[in-house]
Chain A
Amino acid sequence: MSVATLQMRGIHKIYGAGVTEVRALDNVDLTITDGEFVAIMGPSGSGKSTCLNVLGCLDVPTSGQYFFRGVDVGTLNRDQLALLRRHYMGFVFQSFNLLPRVSALGNVELPLIYEGVSPARRRQMSLEALRVVGLEGRADATPNKLSGGQQQRVAIARALVTEPPLLLADEPTGNLDSARANEIMAVLSRIREERGITIIMVTHEQGVARFAERVLYFVDGKLVKDGSPDDVLGEVTR
């Protein structure tokens, strides 16, 4: 059936040492296959964001192995990790993380600049990405001229402009009201259907998590539940 895209084996992430030691990830084993839509949930400090950062190669685990499409990420150097992020991953953050004073188009073009795409092609691809998220009319607007929902859609366009197979989202709706949140989730679901990409999303909102088809539930750095939204969420709320 589906291939194991991401595989974590005995991953630990430990901050500090001795009495102040914090186990952000405690012996996590998980496998995520191509095309899945996964929500990572858990109370604050449960390690869900850390898990996403490790999956996105933004953070390195203290111990354990993480395989990305069969490659042991622990053996890669900084630049190789950067190239991995560049070609295989797109990121969406809670606080949007757009470059201020740079137009929406400029923000979306940024990953293509690092890829060395020519200016004309860059512009064309970015406009297309903005069209996908419904913002082709605001290409020249800087982030401070855009609403929160619009900024997040620009961020999604930036994450997808390089057509990566994997989208990582850290609380993508955390700064938005529920109407905007549903809009964003609708955009993400639609893109997933059209492109068949893998989406891994951290959230603490059950309504948002229900857009996913699989939920990982973390407590104190441990993966305690793994199943369909109905199973996991039903159990957690009970």
Chain B
Amino acid sequence: MIQPMLWGVGMSAYGLQPERRVESLCWDAVSGAVRDAGISPGDIDAIVVGSVFGPPGVATRVQRGIGIPGVPMWTVENACASGTSAYHEAVEAVLGGRFGCVLVLGVDQMSTLFSGAIVPEATDPEGASSLPLPGLYALAAQRYVQEFGVTLEQLAAIAVKNKRNGLDNPLAQLRAAAPTVADVLGSRMIAEPLTMLQCCPTSDGAGAVIVGPERGVRDDLRIEASAMVSGALWDHRSSDVWGFASVARAAERAFAQAGRTPAEIDVLEVHDAFTIGEIVTLEALGLAPRGKGAELAPSGHTARDGAQPVNPSGGLLSRGHPLGGTGTAQLAEIAWQLRGRAEARQVARHRVGLVETMGGGAAGMDGNACVVTILSTQDGTERGTP
């Protein structure tokens, strides 16, 4: 049985960078990951790229600069979960013995495509009806407000927490100042009840991860589980809000594979594209019962110094969301946290970490895909000196 390990991670800066070549963002990420893994580029025997908007051929243009010619390479698209879907394929390939060292690259450069919110896809029935992504999340938020009595202050607390965390992330897009609850609620309305500061900014960025089998390096992280699910019907029969069920499906598989319970997770990076997303996701992951996830941020449970810190990087709300680049950035943060090298962002307990990425937008489905992965230090102890 081959044990897949995370060998190294790297990230470009995240932010609006239209003046940079998209390949150049990737080269930052790949060179960082290769250095972090302590390998030679020639050791890489396969490449999996996760990207939504490419551009088509971006993987090969990246190749021109890094010189790993001829190895098997493919690009996957699973909406916001594209980067972690690429990672999942790498983990499966290592697990099955197909490859010995896989480079995962997640990238998107949104600033050259959209001036603000993502333009909905005209071939989708709901996209054609002008449902923007913040509107889709707002419909879930409104349901939580009315069904469970979630307050606007509880929603805002997610943004306050994550944006404060992001101040200490030198690679994050937004790090000017941490807003208060009043600032969040007073920012421009986007789709009721979600205000501007409750929506992640679109971004440009690339993240890379190197996955391989055990090789006797203490800093390598054990990949205890990686689960990827595609979407299922979401319709009038469902009592869950959009997205809940796809995250729950992936989480159930990942926890079973790792043989762990949600309470055993020390630190998490989850898909907070919008504040309500973190609430619904933490319920689907089992950190809180349905309708109670909104209490986790105000109570301090998910704060950086709380019992289970969530999004210590600042999350998508701070880092920015270059779709394909998000999952690999989440993996990078968990790797740094588990190794005790997250500097000002370092959490106290960091033996077991979890990454969740959920992508969606296709009408009538509970998501396009969701990936949940659980990683740990090799000997179950804290690494480094926080």
Do A and B form a real pair?
no
**Chain A residues within 8 Å of B, Cβ to Cβ:** none
**Chain B residues within 8 Å of A, Cβ to Cβ:** none
